[in-house]
Amino acid sequence: MTTPDWTLYRPCVGIALFNAQNQVFVGKRLDTTVEAWQMPQGGIDDGEKPIQALWRELFEEVGTHKAEIIGELDDWHYYDLPPELKGKLWQGKYVGQRQRWFALRFTGTDSDINIKTEHPEFCAWQWVNLDDVPKLIVPFKQELYQSIAGELARLVGIIAQKTS
C-alpha cells in the first residue's frame, strides 16, 4: 500500500467521548440534508498541538470541558472525501482529513452538554454503543470509524458489544 501524501489531508483531531456506561457521544450534523451522525472532530489550527485542538474542539462542539483523557490512538487515521465534495470543502485545498483520535471519559452529567454553542455543528446528540457508530456515519467515513472502533474499545476496556 502506498503512503498517502499527508499534505493533501487536513490535519484534524477526533474525539471519542465515553460516558460511565462506556457509550460514546455522537452528534447529528446540522449542515447536511441526509441523516449524518459523528463523534466530535475538527481541524488542528496552525501552530496548535493535537492536544490543544482536542480541548478546543470538545468545547466548540459539545460545550463542555468535563472530561479526562483515557488515551490516544498511536497512528494518524485518514479518509478521502467523495468526488462530489472534493474541491468544495476547505477551499479545495484538501482531498480528505488525517485525524489524531483521542478517547476521553466524560466526567460531567448530561446537563453539562450544550451543543448550542457559538458556532453549532450538531442539532441533536445521543449516547450510543461504540459498535453502532459506524452504521450512523456518512458512507465515506464508515471505513475509518470501523478501523478505529477496535482500537478505541481496547483503550477504554470495552468487551465487544453485540447489537440485537
Residue 94: CATH number of its domain: 3.90.79.10
CA 100/CA 80 separation, integer angstroms: 15
Residue 125 lies in a domain: yes
Residue 163 lies in a domain: no
Residue 164 lies in a domain: no
* Maximal CA-CA distance, the chain: 46
- For residue 124, which amino acid is it? A
| Mean local confidence (pLDDT), 19-41 | 92
Residue 40 lies in a domain: yes
CA 19/CA 158 separation, integer angstroms: 12
Which pLDDT band holds residue 125 (cuts at 50, 70, 90)? very high
Residue 55's domain comprises 6-156
Number of domains in the chain: 1
Which pLDDT band holds residue 154 (cuts at 50, 70, 90)? very high
Q: What percent of the chain has pLDDT over 70?
A: 91
